[in-house]
A and B are shown apart, each in its own frame.
Chain A
C-alpha cells in the first residue's frame, strides 16, 4: 500500500475532492453528507462532474436527502449523476475517482458540517484502498433508495418541503 496524506479541514477536503473529480476520466463515486453537497455546488464540483459526464464518464453518489437538499440533488440528477438516498448512514464518507484516487473519512468525524469545520480524512492514490472503499460503496448503493423516489416521498409528506 502506498502512502497517502491526512487532510484536516473541510476546505482542504473539498479542494481534494475537486482535484479527484477533475482528474477522473471514467467514473467518480461519492458518498457524502448532504450539507457538503451544497459546498460542492458552490465550489464548482457539480460543474466538474457535468464535464466528466459530457466526456462520456459516469458519476454516482449517495447521500441522505432531506428537504433543504432536494434542490442540489435535483441539480445533480439534471447533469446526469446517478443519485441514491440512504437513511442514517454510519460508515465512511468518500469520493473515489477511477478506482484509484480517493478521499475518505470515518463517519463519526463529520459532525461539524461548516466550511470551517475540522475533519480528519485520508487522501490516497492506492487502487487497493480505492477498491476497498468501493466495495463498501457498492454495498450501500445496493441498499439505497433512488433519489427520485425519495424526493417524491418528501413531496408527499407536505408541499412546503419542496
Chain B
C-alpha cells in the first residue's frame, strides 16, 4: 500500500524545510538526527526509511522515494513526482512543465507546447506562473529560453511562498471573521422570501407574473429546453412586452442545432442572447436586481409540466448581486447567438 511507504505531503514539506535550513548552514547530516524520537519512530515505521552509509535518509522499498543529499529528491515515477509537486502548491500543468524542463533542459515555448501537446499560449501562462513561483528562470536572450530552477532552490521558493501564503490566509481569515461579526448575518431590514420551486408547473406559474411585473431588467442563464417552455407558456410575450416598455432582457444559453429556431424567436423579439460554450446545466434568473431563481444541476429530460425540479426562489438583493456578478463574468466569455447560429448552419445538422 502506498500509505505504508510514503511520508505524507506535510512530512515532505517538514523535511524539505529542515533540509533547506541545514543546507543553508552548510550541513548535510542525517534527517533522522533532526527529528525528535517519536517523530523519528513514526517516520521510520511509515516509510520504511533507513540511514545510508553517508548518514542520509533513504527509503528501501521499491526506491519510490529516495531522500539523500539535501538537494536531491528523486522519484522513480513521473506521475508520482507530479503528485509531489502538486502537494507543493503547483497545479498539474505547472508540475508537468517544470518536470519537463528539469528532465530535458531549457527550451523555448514552441517546442514545449509541442512536447506537452498543448497550445503555446497555455505554455506561456504556465511559464509565467512558474516564474512567479520562483521555479523557472527566463533567459535575457531573444527568443527567451526557459530553464527549470534547481530542484532544492525551487522547493525552497515553494515552501517560502507557502509560508507567506499561510500568513496571508490567516490575516484574510481574521478580516473575514471581523466582517462576519460587524456586517454579516444580520437579518436584512426588509422581509425577504425564500422557497423551493419543485416542478416546471410551479416555475411557469411563478415566471409569468415575474416577467409581467419586471420594470427594468431580466438576466437569465438557462438550458435550451427552458426557452422552449417559455415560448410554449406565453412567457416570451411578457418578455416582449418588457422590451417594448424599454426594459432589457439578456440571456445566456447553450445554442445547439436543434435550438436554432427557438433562439431565433427570442432574438426576433429583441432579446440579447449569447451562446456559452462552457455552459454546464446552470439555471438562474434575476429580475430587477432583486428577485432570484436559482437551480443547481438542472437536468430537464422531458418538457412536461410535471417534470420535477429544485429551484431556489429568493428576493434577496445580496443574493441577486452574487448571481449578477456570476452572470457578467459568463457574459464576457460568451459569443453572440447570431454568430453561433451562423456557425451551426455552416456545419449543418449533427450526425444522427
Contact = CB atoms under 8 A, between A and B. Distances in A.
Interface of A: 1-6, 8, 11-12, 14-16, 18-19, 35, 38, 41-43, 67-72, 74-75, 78, 90-92, 106-109, 111, 113-115, 118, 120-123, 125-126, 128-129, 132-133, 135-136, 139-140, 160-162
Contacts of A109: 326, 329
Contact of A38 (B86, B278, B319, B329): B86
Given A71-B2, A120-B329, A43 B169 contact: yes
The 7 A-B residue pairs with the shortest CB-CB distance in the complex, in nearest-first order: A91-B297, A90-B280, A1-B194, A15-B173, A136-B296, A125-B185, A15-B172
A124 to B, nearest CB: 8
A139 B295 CA distance: 13
Contacts of A6: 318, 321-322, 325
Contacts of B80: 160
Interface in B328-350: 329-330
Nearest to B80: A160
Contacts of B284: 106
- SS class, residues of chain B in contact with chain A: helix
B261 interface: no
Nearest to B195: A128
A30 B322 CA distance: 20
A70 B297 CA distance: 26
7 contacts: A3-B185, A6-B322, A68-B92, A71-B6, A114-B91, A115-B89, A120-B329
A43 B166 CA distance: 7
A111 to B, nearest CB: 7
Interface stretch (B16-24, B108-116, B309-317): B309-317
Contact of A111 (B82, B278, B319): B278
Contact of A139 (B77, B278, B297): B297
A125 B188 CA distance: 13
A132 B312 contact: yes
Interface in B224-279: 276, 278-279
A72 to B, nearest CB: 7
A29 to B, nearest CB: 14
B83 A67 contact: yes
A2 B186 contact: yes
Given A2-B187, A18-B173, A71-B83, A136 B297 contact: yes
Contacts of A42: 87, 89, 162, 165-166
Interface in B152-198: 162, 165-166, 168-169, 172-173, 176-177, 179-180, 183-188, 192-194, 196
A90 B229 CA distance: 22
A6 B79 CA distance: 37
B282 interface: yes
B162 A11 contact: no
B60 interface: no
B78 interface: yes
B199 interface: no
A123 B321 contact: no
Given A1-B314, A38-B86, A91-B297, A120 B326 contact: yes
B180 A41 contact: no
Nearest to A22: B173
B208 interface: no
Contacts of A140: 297
B9 interface: yes
A71 B9 contact: yes
Contacts of A72: 9, 87
A94 B102 CA distance: 37
Nearest to B132: A116
A38 B211 CA distance: 44
B53 interface: no
Contacts of A111: 278
A140 B316 CA distance: 26
A120 B3 contact: no
Given A68-B83, A120-B325, A75 B8 contact: yes
B281 interface: yes
Contacts of A38: 86-87, 89
A123 B318 CA distance: 10
Nearest to A18: B173
A1 B330 CA distance: 26
Interface string B54-86: 000000000000000000000001111011001
A41 B88 CA distance: 10
A162 B3 CA distance: 10
